[in-house]
Amino acid sequence: MEFKTVVFFVLATVMVLAALRVITARNPVHAALFLVLTFFNAGGIWLILQAEFLAIMLVMVYVGAVMVLFLFVVMMLDINVDRLREGFWSYLPVGAVVGVIMLAEMVLVLSGPYFGLDNMPEPPAAAGDYSNTRALGRILYTEYVYPFELASLVLLVAMIAAVALTLRQRKDSKYVQPSEQIAVKRADRIEVISMPAEKE
């Protein structure tokens, strides 16, 4: 067995175990940390597949930015885990049926004859001046430019919706009116008091 194959099996095993811990961990912070470990191992597998740009982007964007944001949000929200688990058993039958259907579909897809080594051989070694970043950018902005722009519009709409849901006026939220701040006068904020001087 080649060294690359051993590394792949190690990374894949750790990634699968970490992904299982993401959905089975009781603490949300621990689940987020296991998701970070999953992303790191997925980046390692992409490095083995000679997709260095995707591996670096996975580590920098998801682990370096998104997961740190998730951790801060989870720690700031102080989620009541016991309250979240109150309706767990009522949703368990539906979740089990969906999980069995997804598992059966994955087995049908992965056990097909089109996923063997004969149908998907190892790609030939790239030239010395080859850059997968340049190749990915060329394909992304020529052949797949319209799906790429459509995905960016979907993300923009999702971001605007998230901001709109956050900024809605609630009774328990504090907000200010910029017009009132601009129209304020000196007499409204400062009061001059005349006090007699005291001698020691």
* Residue 58 counted as domain residue: yes
Write down which residue in 15, 50, 81 finishes a domain.
Answer: 81
In tens, the pLDDT along 101-159 reads 999 998 888 787 776 667 766 767 777 777 888 888 888 889 999 999 999 999 999 98
Same domain, 77 and 150: no
139: how many CB neighbours lie within 10 A of its CB? 12
* Residue 86 counted as domain residue: no
In tens, the pLDDT along 71-114 reads 777 777 666 666 666 666 787 889 899 999 999 998 888 787 77
* CA distances in angstroms from 115 to 43, 45, 144, listed in the order given: 22, 18, 25
| Distance, CA of 38 to CA of 18 (rounded, Å) | 6
What is the total residue count of the chain? 200
Per the structure, the complete domain to which residue 144 belongs is given by 130-168
* Residue 6 counted as domain residue: yes
Q: Are 103 and 97 in contact (CB under 8 A)?
A: no
* Residue 91 counted as domain residue: no
